[in-house]
């Protein structure tokens, strides 16, 4: 363990299982944890290296129940992201982040045009109507990237080779996270494990609804049935 604000532990082992994936790919399972081996969701892991370039695919950052879904989205530089609003109220999505500044005026449904994210970096999303709505988009030049699930897990299918690992999490103590080191992928399956030191969640929380808002929500739910 280093003395930096993010602690990284990594183990890579081979020969774990037979794979039903293309012969050029090796399945690598990554676990991201914090504290006493607690699974850490919403961690972004990116890998540089390898031979396969990233293929741009459209991405979606939705709004549901007055929250951004997913909370954290990772995408490659140049990706177009749409922002569908599934709520019965209008939202105004915006970002002041240097990597992408934009503002989507109040809307229902799906905006006419997606937003193109053409610079790498972390974009923090807000909503001018609901202060507690916070989301994150991590744009990377690396060809391999993913976000950990609720169990802190990520699985990559990687060509054998040497990869450089980068890590990010919205609550990491270090503002600029050190790199996660190199990951050597052989022709057999493997695992890797990383630990990130985080701060408590300091995002604004949704206030309890008052009687009028509760009545409005009930009416909206009934209308949607």
CATH of the domain at 20: 2.60.40.10
Q: Please count the structural domains in the chain.
A: 2
Highest mean pLDDT out of 49-63, 96-110, 166-180: 96-110
My answer on whether 79 and 119 are in the same domain is: yes
13-58 confidence digits (pLDDT tens): 322 222 233 457 889 999 999 988 999 999 999 999 876 667 789 9
My answer on whether 164 and 137 are in the same domain is: no
My answer on whether 34 and 81 are in the same domain is: no
148-158 confidence digits (pLDDT tens): 999 999 999 99
pLDDT at residue 180, rounded to an integer: 78
My answer on whether 130 and 149 are in the same domain is: no
pLDDT at residue 210 is higher than 80: no
Given a contact cutoff of 8 angstroms between Cβ atoms, the answer to whether 33 and 148 are in contact is no
My answer on whether 41 and 92 are in the same domain is: no
pLDDT at residue 188 is higher than 80: yes
**Among candidate residues 141, 175, 203, the one where a domain is terminated:** 141
My answer on whether 62 and 168 are in the same domain is: no
Name the band, by pLDDT with cuts 50, 70 and 90, for residue 2: very low
CA distance 131 to 9: 36
pLDDT at residue 205, rounded to an integer: 57
My answer on whether 92 and 152 are in the same domain is: no
**Among candidate residues 109, 141, 173, the one where a domain is terminated:** 141
Given a contact cutoff of 8 angstroms between Cβ atoms, the answer to whether 99 and 119 are in contact is yes
Contacts of 35 (CB under 8 A, 6+ apart): none
My answer on whether 187 and 116 are in the same domain is: no
Identify the domain containing residue 214 by its residue range.
1-54+145-225
My answer on whether 161 and 199 are in the same domain is: yes
**Among candidate residues 82, 106, 141, the one where a domain is terminated:** 141
My answer on whether 155 and 125 are in the same domain is: no
Using CA of residue 58, residue 32, residue 136, residue 181, what is the dihedral sign?
negative
How is residue 30 written in tokens?
């990554």
More confident site: 112 or 129 = 129
My answer on whether 131 and 68 are in the same domain is: yes
pLDDT at residue 98 is higher than 50: yes
My answer on whether 44 and 74 are in the same domain is: no
């Amino acid at each position: 363990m280093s003395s930096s604000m993010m602690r990284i532990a990594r183990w890579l082992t081979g020969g774990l299982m037979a794979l039903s994936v293309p012969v050029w790919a090796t399945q690598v399972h990554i676990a991201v944890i914090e504290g006493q081996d607690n699974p850490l969701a919403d961690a972004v892991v990116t890998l540089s290296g390898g031979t396969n370039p990233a293929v741009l695919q459209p991405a979606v950052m939705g709004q549901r129940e007055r929250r951004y879904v997913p909370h954290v989205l990772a995408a490659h530089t140049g990706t177009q992201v749409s922002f569908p609003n599934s709520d019965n109220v209008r939202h105004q999505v915006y970002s002041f982040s240097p990597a992408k500044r934009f503002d989507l005026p109040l809307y229902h449904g799906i905006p006419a045009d997606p937003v193109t994210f053409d610079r790498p970096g972390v974009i923090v999303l807000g909503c001018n109507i609901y202060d507690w709505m916070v989301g994150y988009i991590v744009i990377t030049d690396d060809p391999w990237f993913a976000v950990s699930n609720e169990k802190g897990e990520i699985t990559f299918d990687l060509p054998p080779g040497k990869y450089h690992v980068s890590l990010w999490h919205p609550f990491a103590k270090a503002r600029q996270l050190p790199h996660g080191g190199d990951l050597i992928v052989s022709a057999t399956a493997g695992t890797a494990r990383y630990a990130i030191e985080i701060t408590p969640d300091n995002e604004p929380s949704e206030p309890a609804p008052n009687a009028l808002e509760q009545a409005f929500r009930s009416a909206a739910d009934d209308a949607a049935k």
